[in-house]
Chains A and B, each alone.
Chain A
Amino acid sequence: MKAFANLINQLNSSTKTSDKLKALSDYFAVATDKDKVWVIALFSGRRPKRAVTATQLKTWCMESINMQPWLFEECYNTVGDLAETIALLLSNQHNSSQNFPLHHYIETLISIEKESEAVKKNYILQSWQQLTQDEIFVFNKLITGGFRIGVSQKLMVNALAKTTQLSSSVITHRISGQWNAANTSFHHLLSEEANSIDASKPYPFYLAYALDGALKDLGNENEWQAEWKWDGIRGQIIKRSNELFVWSRGEELMTDKFPEYQIFSNLLHNGTVLDGEIICLQLNTGNTFKPLPFALLQTRIGRKNISKKELSNSPVGFIAYDVLEYDGEDIRNKPLTERRYLLEQIIQAVHHPSLQLSPLIHFNNWHELAQQQQNARAFDAEGIMLKRKNSVYQVGRKTGDWWKWKVAPLTIDAVMIYAQKGHGRRSNLYTDYTFAVKDGDKLVPFTKAYSGLTDKEFAQVDAFVKKNALEKFGPVRTVKPELVFEIAFEGIAASNRHKSGVALRFPRILRWRQDKKADEINTLEDLKQLLEQYGK
């Protein structure tokens, strides 16, 4: 545990990728295989199920130091992280601890999951007593998750590549999909020869960067393929060993969430992997389709069980744009044009309305394409994808061959009415804001936004909030409606869960309008017009 706490401290204290890479590869070079597998699991989002709830941790901590709940909440709001709050409050200052290896703590936590509350409490309190402050922090994090130390899966993979003989892309593939660290050996996961890939394993997604230069810098337009960029969830449909698997880009297995796809299990051949968009589709006659707003899809992905009503209100389809495995063969290294040809064959053969081919956008020159891009919203798309025709399917976010080119966002001027302290590097700073538009002489809250200001601007707004806050306790401050911000968002949909009647897609702060006063903001009527225009 000492070594792992050290690693977390090093990762936490440096801001340079090179330092983090070194800290990780140093750790992988000396850690035991069992600990390594758990670190890979933790940093790739495969934390074991919570054995203890956050509320239990909170309660036991307050009990053991005899603290009032309100004071604990004040501390928590200031620190912005439960695991850290507890570590700071428990005051054992000893510098050495009884030291079990990392996997011992994780496996014990797993083993007490089904035990009584008393057993759990006993184990947690005992561990807290034995560990140093830094170790309590990582121990708590094993339970609550989310280290927030700026280690991407990519960085971890690069560190692994330094300590094994495997390339980054092979490692990324090996550690993807479904595996359980409790019964996977490091050897099985990452040795050079081990190669029995389980049937559900997805390929790492190839991700595009946002287009930043001019179109003409891309060279000859004939070398490029253009498609609409859809507003759904990126996904992979896998058919192997007579079974169907659906993965989201977040490497979450979502097969059960989309019963509509089960039919593909019969229609696709074994050894087929499709890359495309999971999205709600309204199917029209003549095998045409209209994509439906993301908000509809959202109502489904949060649910455990999907009702008949939801199935008919928000029918999910798949817009396929690539094929990664064909006839059991990994074809990611074939050029896009060849993969596209195979994809078209597959879609034709399946011939089912829920599986659509991503249509190509025809254009004769860059100027024409630019005009089409401006029009993306009319096609219910959020922009255009540009892919080089001879590009291979790469691993992760790579620049050069694939670009996303989004339309300009919708915007609205709004006033800040509530503020809340942020988390992680924004702890003890008011950085999470709620915004309102005018409705007569009333203010109607319609969205929250957390990003878009510089650190300096956040500090200024934070100072304003601290000076103009009305309540003294708790996380939310009502502030004088005075600061005006331009809010940008990608889409708008009707919502009966919000007072304003609208839900925004990916809202963020575009700029602070210090030139505007609170009575110059947009109205609820303006929002409704946008809904009318873009939200249907």
Chain B
Amino acid sequence: MALIEFSDKGLYCPIGNFFIDPWKPVDNAVITHAHSDHARWGSKNYLCHTQTKPLLQLRLGNNNYQTVDWNESVYINQVKVSLHPAGHIIGSSQIRVEYNGEVWVVSGDYKLENDGISGEFEPVKCHTFITESTFGLPIYKWKPQQEIFQQIQQWILNNQSQNKCSVLIAYSLGKAQRVLQAVTKVTDNIWVHGAIYNTYETLINAGWQLPLLKRVTPETTKEALHNAVVIAPPSADGTPWMKKFYTYSVGVCSGWMQVRGNARRRNVDAGFVLSDHADWNGLLQAVKATEANKVFVTHGFQSAFARHLNEHGIEAAEVKTAFGDEEDVQENNSGSTNE
């Protein structure tokens, strides 16, 4: 029996009788992070990182949550489980599973660069590594965050000089908090969409130190938004909600902006190549650091990345999962998310 199996409800550990990021309701769910394609509603018991719990409460309501810190071990039916920073968003974790000396690691979503808020990715040695591959093609290579932050700041200053409002499109959990670090350096007139404000309040209540943000409401006047920065989720892009900010320029923060055609399709004025996922080199580096002798590749360019690993002496296979890229999910179902 494999330590982790790929079932129709998600990644399953039969010995421990728990699932990791199940996409259907189960008894025991271990959650890598609070994005909606990984943390789903309806399970009886949830195990997650301490920082993830308030976010799950916000998104899934009150449930039976058990929390652990990074590198703290718990046993589930004799299977040793521990969480390790994945660097993707606040609280995001890799799940290490050990039984009888055999170690598997489920990466969840991750990135290698330390973004200042999500914790620094920790390579964990294992026999079998289950990795994501959202940006698993060599065309995806990220520049350092600092460089992208400078682009964003330059863009905001440029908009201000033309009396334009700067609307930054960023996913409400993760990217929005990340870009705040860049935005606060050039302005303190920062407004956010309701979905981002909810996350913000939750994080403030959980003790996070975040700059002062203002929520855009129907009462917000046009004058107040003059030359401001507005942060909004992808689902708000192109909706009548944006009219209030006129004249404005739209900047999208996403790894998909790497390819010109994507930026054109999104009809954006500026695309910032900023992703919370590992780029091609990051994925390769992470896989090598685990020293795993078997790699399973999930959501993204799994066929290409698995084939490349096999050609380079690392045994790899692809696995179909129901995880998507949350940015994709947003883009395709804009308006239908519950935010």
* A and B co-occur in one complex: yes
Interface residues of A, Cβ cutoff 8 Å to B = 12-15, 67-68, 70-71, 74-75, 78-81, 84-85, 88-89, 91, 93, 423-429, 455, 459-460, 462-463, 472-473
* Chain B contacts for A67, CB-based, 8 A: 138
Interface residues of B, Cβ cutoff 8 Å to A = 137-139, 141, 143, 256, 258-265, 267-271, 301, 303-304, 307-308, 311, 331-332
Q: Are B304 and A427 in contact (CB under 8 A)?
A: no
Q: How far is the CB of A398 from chain B (nearest CB, A)?
A: 27
Cβ 8 A contact of B139, one of A78, A426, A473: A78
Cβ 8 A contact of B259, one of A68, A89, A427, A462: A427
Cβ 8 A contact of B269, one of A14, A71, A463: A14
Q: Are A425 and B137 in contact (CB under 8 A)?
A: no
Q: Are A78 and B259 in contact (CB under 8 A)?
A: yes
Q: Are B260 and A81 in contact (CB under 8 A)?
A: yes
* Chain B contacts for A424, CB-based, 8 A: 261, 264
Q: Are A426 and B138 in contact (CB under 8 A)?
A: no
* Chain B contacts for A93, CB-based, 8 A: 143
Asked, given contacts A15-B269, A427-B262, whether A463 binds B332 with beta carbons under 8 Å apart, the answer is yes
Asked, given contacts A67-B138, A89-B138, A91-B141, whether A423 binds B261 with beta carbons under 8 Å apart, the answer is yes
Q: Are B138 and A75 in contact (CB under 8 A)?
A: yes
Cβ 8 A contact of A78, one of B137, B141, B270, B332: B137
A-B contacts besides A15-B268, A78-B259, A88-B259, 18 pairs, CB < 8 Å: A13-B268, A13-B269, A13-B271, A68-B311, A70-B307, A71-B137, A71-B308, A74-B301, A75-B138, A78-B137, A424-B261, A426-B265, A427-B262, A427-B265, A429-B265, A459-B332, A463-B332, A472-B303
* Chain B contacts for A91, CB-based, 8 A: 141
Q: Are B304 and A74 in contact (CB under 8 A)?
A: yes
Asked, given contacts A71-B138, A75-B137, whether A428 binds B269 with beta carbons under 8 Å apart, the answer is no
Q: Are A428 and B262 in contact (CB under 8 A)?
A: yes
Cβ 8 A contact of A88, one of B139, B262, B304: B139
Among residues of B, the one whose C-beta sits closest to the C-beta of A70 is B307
Count of chain A to chain B residue pairs whose CB atoms are closer than 8 Å in the complex? 78
A93 to B308, CA, bound (A): 23
A470 to B332, CA, bound (A): 22
* Chain B contacts for A423, CB-based, 8 A: 261
Q: Are A81 and B261 in contact (CB under 8 A)?
A: yes
Q: How far is the CB of B320 from chain A (nearest CB, A)?
A: 9
Asked, given contacts A71-B308, A75-B139, whether A88 binds B258 with beta carbons under 8 Å apart, the answer is yes
* Chain B contacts for A12, CB-based, 8 A: 260, 263-264
* Chain B contacts for A80, CB-based, 8 A: 259, 261
Asked, given contacts A13-B269, A81-B261, A424-B264, whether A74 binds B332 with beta carbons under 8 Å apart, the answer is no
Q: How far is the CB of B321 from chain A (nearest CB, A)?
A: 12
Q: Are A79 and B301 in contact (CB under 8 A)?
A: no
Cβ 8 A contact of A428, one of B261, B268, B270, B311: B261
Among residues of A, the one whose C-beta sits closest to the C-beta of B318 is A472
Among residues of A, the one whose C-beta sits closest to the C-beta of B333 is A459
Of B261, B262, B265, B307, most A-chain CB atoms within 10 Å? B261
Q: Are B311 and A79 in contact (CB under 8 A)?
A: no
A423 to B265, CA, bound (A): 11
Among residues of A, the one whose C-beta sits closest to the C-beta of B267 is A15
* Chain A contacts for B141, CB-based, 8 A: 88, 91
Q: Are B264 and A71 in contact (CB under 8 A)?
A: no
A472 to B320, CA, bound (A): 12
Q: How far is the CB of A431 from chain B (nearest CB, A)?
A: 10
Q: Are B265 and A425 in contact (CB under 8 A)?
A: yes
Among residues of A, the one whose C-beta sits closest to the C-beta of B301 is A74
* Chain A contacts for B263, CB-based, 8 A: 12-13
* Chain B contacts for A74, CB-based, 8 A: 137, 301, 304
A49 to B265, CA, bound (A): 30
A234 to B130, CA, bound (A): 59
Q: How far is the CB of A353 from chain B (nearest CB, A)?
A: 49
Q: Are A79 and B138 in contact (CB under 8 A)?
A: no
A77 to B20, CA, bound (A): 33
A423 to B143, CA, bound (A): 25
Q: Are A79 and B139 in contact (CB under 8 A)?
A: yes
Q: Are A79 and B271 in contact (CB under 8 A)?
A: no
Asked, given contacts A13-B270, A71-B304, A78-B137, whether A427 binds B143 with beta carbons under 8 Å apart, the answer is no
Q: Are A79 and B269 in contact (CB under 8 A)?
A: no
* Chain B contacts for A429, CB-based, 8 A: 265
Q: How far is the CB of B98 from chain A (nearest CB, A)?
A: 32
10 tightest A-B contacts by CB? A427-B261, A425-B264, A88-B139, A472-B303, A425-B265, A74-B304, A459-B332, A75-B139, A425-B261, A424-B261
Among residues of B, the one whose C-beta sits closest to the C-beta of A8 is B260
A88 to B279, CA, bound (A): 13
Among residues of B, the one whose C-beta sits closest to the C-beta of A65 is B138
23 A–B contact pairs at CB < 8 A? A12-B260, A12-B264, A13-B263, A13-B270, A15-B269, A67-B138, A68-B308, A71-B138, A71-B307, A74-B137, A74-B301, A75-B139, A79-B259, A80-B261, A84-B260, A91-B141, A427-B262, A428-B261, A429-B265, A455-B265, A459-B331, A462-B332, A473-B303
* Chain B contacts for A88, CB-based, 8 A: 139, 141, 258-259
Q: Are B259 and A84 in contact (CB under 8 A)?
A: yes
* Chain A contacts for B138, CB-based, 8 A: 67, 71, 75, 89
* Chain A contacts for B264, CB-based, 8 A: 12, 15, 424-425
Q: Are A85 and B139 in contact (CB under 8 A)?
A: yes
A89 to B279, CA, bound (A): 13
* Chain A contacts for B311, CB-based, 8 A: 68
Among residues of B, the one whose C-beta sits closest to the C-beta of A84 is B260
Among residues of B, the one whose C-beta sits closest to the C-beta of A73 is B304
* Chain B contacts for A13, CB-based, 8 A: 263, 268-271
Q: Are A426 and B303 in contact (CB under 8 A)?
A: no
Q: How far is the CB of B251 from chain A (nearest CB, A)?
A: 10
Q: How far is the CB of B184 from chain A (nearest CB, A)?
A: 25
Q: Are A89 and B143 in contact (CB under 8 A)?
A: no
A492 to B19, CA, bound (A): 56
A15 to B260, CA, bound (A): 13
Among residues of B, the one whose C-beta sits closest to the C-beta of A95 is B147
A479 to B195, CA, bound (A): 37
Among residues of B, the one whose C-beta sits closest to the C-beta of A421 is B261
Q: How far is the CB of A96 from chain B (nearest CB, A)?
A: 14
* Chain A contacts for B260, CB-based, 8 A: 12, 81, 84, 427
A84 to B140, CA, bound (A): 12
Q: How far is the CB of A145 from chain B (nearest CB, A)?
A: 16
* Chain A contacts for B265, CB-based, 8 A: 425-427, 429, 455
